[in-house]
Amino acid sequence: MPKIGGGEIIIILLVVILLFGAKKLPELARSLGSSAREFRKGVEEGRLGDAEDGTAGQVTATAQTTSATTSSETEARPG
């Protein structure tokens, strides 16, 4: 599998800036960070639920993560 070098990363960043604009990038990064945080929290809750009562914790954690991600995406959209 080919490795991504510094030049390729710079080109990818330039394309992202052109597509989303410099003003949108901090908002997108914030949204991505909060989604990742909620996902990790849900995974951890799922693990705790598995240890306590089987697989019921996984379903609850998945539902919470989906709900949190949807609400954060709704808040991030202007208008």
pLDDT > 60? residue 39: yes
| Helix 25-53 / helix 56-76 crossing angle, nearest 10 deg | 170
Radius of gyration of the chain (CA): 17
- In a domain, residue 8? The reply is no
What's the domain range around 45?
22-76
Q: What is the pLDDT of residue 11?
A: 94
Q: Please name the amino acid found at residue 2.
A: P
Does a structural domain hold residue 43? yes
Q: Which residue has the higher pLDDT, 23 or 65?
A: 23
Q: How many domains does the chain have?
A: 1
Q: How far apart are CA 5 and CA 14, in angstroms?
A: 15
What are 70's two structure tokens?
A: 């949807």
Tell whether 15 is covered by a domain: no
Query: How high does pLDDT run on average in the chain?
Result: 78
